[in-house]
Structure 1
Amino acid sequence: MKLKICGMKYPDNILEVGSLLPDYMGFIFWEKSARYFEDSIPDLPKSIKKVGVFVNATQNEILEKIAKYDLQAVQLHGQESVAFCLDLKDKMNNSIEIIKVFSVDDSFDFEVLKPFEAVCDYFLFDTKGKLPGGNGTTFDWKVLEKYPSNKPFFLSGGIGINEMDAVNEISKTNLPLYAIDVNSKFEIEPGLKNTQLCRDALQWVSTDNKIKK
């Protein structure tokens, strides 16, 4: 299982967390977010994929950020259409991973995913709330039992160390859980990550889903 640490903001903290070698690091380019990123990304190990998080941004804005920050993936957190994703994928020559986000609650209709399967690399399921993301709460993961696709997905929404055992139960099923996406429960303040908690999470994903005591 992969680990994405999202909502990075401060260069020194980015380097500290980057030294732990998470699989993905997320940078939020939505101005209303407390974790809005507008600094420079320091040099990171090549193994870390840098993800730009966007909410209803224009394609030009996304392409500009990809070029400026050398992003390897984009996470679309708004109401981006299938046509938007397809056009963006073409403009990027299929060289950038597209992660399409869906906000989930107990009544989520998984049928809405089908048209997106061919135009994105991964889905990401987050908790439906007042904000597009970063609400800090989990949804009832039992709804994932209805997941009809083989498309790999990221699981997000209020995941902390205390939720890892429940994540482990999902990983034992046939669901194509590709990565977990962590943010607020690994923070000292918005955008500033607790390095030790991040280390614990990485240890968990790299040691058969168990944290060594």
Structure 2
Amino acid sequence: MDLQSNQQSTCNNQLKLKVCGLTGLDQVQELISMNTDFLGFIFYEKSLRYVLNHLSLEDISKVEHQGKVGVFVNESIEKIFEISQKANLNFIQLHGDEDENFIIELKKKLNPEIGMIKVIRIGAGKSEQIQKTINQQPTIINYLLFDTDSTAFGGTGKQFDWNLLNEIEIPLPYFLSGGISLKNIHQLSTINQKPFSLDINSKFETEPGIKNLNQIKTLRKII
């Protein structure tokens, strides 16, 4: 599943699934066998799910999957480039305060086949501010990702007000994140422009970095 086929799939209303915060190869292989579309590896040292505390870049590079996503928070261009090469990543997810100039310079350095995901963190702000942030994103971004704002840059298990998504124009396919669970998944019906993919993490864990595969299987059946 390359970048082009990923983007084309937005036309057929097939909701995809990204499981983020992975730390174990056994669970990675289980998720691959479940046809999980995107595998998220967090390269943010302050995260409870910092992948390099558990796996090496070589381990990740050997994972045979076309949806390997590296999650970075205010990291240097050089470090992102190095990790993307050594881990053989397919997507870069920028979860920090990276501005347009940073993204453009990063894109120049990366393998051109690597897709770019920019996170829009949503807190108590109004839809006008969210729209402004979206409009400021460079055209080289392939996907947006909406997540609940927090000082920890995600992983809160808290849901933002999805109704805000009905008050803005979303020009790109997007990932929906932030406290998605089996209890609130039915609320997707309230969103006018449906997400390209769900992005699940803490609500489908037994402990940080250890996923509840049975719950993920249940979610798969629902979507």
- CA positional deviation for 1:196: 0.8
Q: Is the 8 A contact 1:151 1:176 kept in 2?
A: no
- CA positional deviation for 1:43: 4.4
The one-letter amino acid paired with 1:161 is L
| Residue in structure 2 matching 1:4, options 9, 12, 18 | 18
| Residue in structure 1 matching 2:169, options 118, 135, 148 | 148
Q: State the alpha-carbon separation in 2 of the partners of residues 202 and 25 from structure 1.
A: 15
| Residue in structure 2 matching 1:41, options 60, 83, 87 | 60
Q: State the alpha-carbon separation in 2 of the partners of residues 37 and 130 from structure 1.
A: 19
| Residue in structure 1 matching 2:106, options 65, 88, 97 | 88
Q: State the alpha-carbon separation in 2 of the partners of residues 42 and 118 from structure 1.
A: 28
- CA positional deviation for 1:44: 4.0
- Give the % identical residues: 37
- CA positional deviation for 1:3: 0.6
**Which residue in 1 is equivalent to 2:205?**
187
TM-score (norm 2): 0.85
**Which residue in 2 is equivalent to 1:166?**
187
Q: Is the 8 A contact 2:91 2:116 kept in 1?
A: yes
The one-letter amino acid paired with 2:43 is F
The one-letter amino acid paired with 1:13 is Q
Which structure 2 residues correspond to residues 9-28 of structure 1 after superposition, within 5 A? Answer: 9-28=23-42
The one-letter amino acid paired with 1:157 is G
The one-letter amino acid paired with 2:179 is G
SS of residue paired to 2:60:
coil
Q: Which has the higher helix share?
A: 2
Q: Is the 8 A contact 2:77 2:106 kept in 1?
A: yes
Distance 1:176 1:160, change over 3 A: closer
Point out where structure 1 has 5 or more consecutive residues left out of the alignment: 206-213
Q: State the alpha-carbon separation in 2 of the partners of residues 42 and 83 from structure 1.
A: 28
Deviations 1:139-176 (A, max 9, x none): 11111112223211111000011111112332xx2x15
Point out where structure 2 has 5 or more consecutive residues left out of the alignment: 1-14
Q: State the alpha-carbon separation in 2 of the partners of residues 168 and 42 from structure 1.
A: 37
How many corresponding residue pairs?
Answer: 201
